[in-house]
């Protein structure tokens, strides 16, 4: 099920246009059904194939700062057009409602989907993740980047010239464990917001 992201630059009239740089960054690294494309003024939009990638992109944008982020979860009209601007369907409408709602929220992030309750739950989890990312220090980001690249905490410590204990403290201060817990939860909730599917908790019969 596709996910549409509609992103609007905040306070664009008081600063430089950042859309082109972010489009280049995302389109060079993010697999998409339709590439991110400027839709109007300081707004851009893209269509992603899965919820996990959507969570990744949302958190990238949160870390960059200065964006209102709307996530629309649901079907789109097919076949897909060549241009994101020509897309249509419930996910596009949801993304429009979401970015408008995001502009009114302290954490400029909102989710709308075909299953409103699950979209609200996904929004709550993504908001918590956004707060974690926004408050993380540069030192914590350094440690997290090294550990996520595959290094052990001891190896990361050697690379940074600090003790292993200090690496652990940076990871803890950056709430890295909480992020790892919340990411899959956010992914599951976004999936449910798009199609309403819930796993069978009783397993196969």
Q: Domain extents for the chain?
A: 3-127
Query: What was the pLDDT predicted at 203?
Result: 42
Question: Can you give the pLDDT at residue 178?
Answer: 96
Q: Which pLDDT does position 200 carry in this prediction?
A: 41
Measured from the Cβ of residue 12, the count of other Cβ atoms closer than 10 Å reads 15
pLDDT value of position 16: 85
CA distance linking residue 55 with residue 59, whole number of Å: 6
Write down the pLDDT at residue 195: 83
Q: Mark out the alpha helices in 65-104 (DSSP H runs).
A: 90-102
pTM for the model: 0.89
CATH among 1.10.1760, 3.30.70, 1.10.10, 3.40.50 for 3-127: 3.30.70
What's the DSSP call for residue 6?
Answer: E
Average pLDDT along the chain, 205 residues, taken 10 residues at a time: 94 82 96 94 95 97 96 94 92 96 96 96 98 96 97 97 97 96 96 72 39
CB 144 within 8 A of CB 168: no
Q: What is the pLDDT of residue 8?
A: 96
Amino acid 204: pLDDT: 44
Q: Which structure tokens are listed for 75?
A: 């079907």
């Amino acid at each position: 099920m596709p996910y549409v992201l509609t992103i609007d630059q905040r306070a664009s009239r008081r600063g430089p246009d950042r859309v082109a740089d972010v489009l280049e960054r995302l389109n060079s690294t993010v697999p998409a059904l339709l590439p991110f494309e400027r839709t109007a003024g300081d707004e851009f939009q893209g269509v992603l194939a899965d919820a996990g990638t959507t969570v990744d992109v949302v958190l990238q944008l949160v870390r960059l700062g200065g964006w209102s982020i709307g996530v629309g979860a649901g079907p789109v009209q097919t076949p897909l057009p060549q241009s994101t601007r020509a897309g249509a369907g419930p996910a596009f409408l949801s993304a429009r409602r979401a970015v408008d709602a995001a502009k009114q929220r302290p954490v400029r992030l909102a989710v709308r989907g075909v299953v409103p309750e699950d979209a609200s739950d996904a929004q709550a989890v993504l908001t918590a993740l956004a707060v974690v990312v926004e408050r993380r220090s540069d030192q914590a980001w350094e440690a997290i980047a090294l550990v996520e690249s595959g290094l052990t905490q001891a190896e990361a410590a050697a690379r940074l010239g600090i003790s292993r204990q200090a690496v652990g403290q940076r990871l803890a201060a950056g709430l890295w464990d909480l992020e790892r817990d919340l990411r899959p939860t956010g992914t599951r909730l976004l999936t449910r917001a798009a199609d309403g599917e819930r796993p069978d908790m009783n397993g196969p019969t």
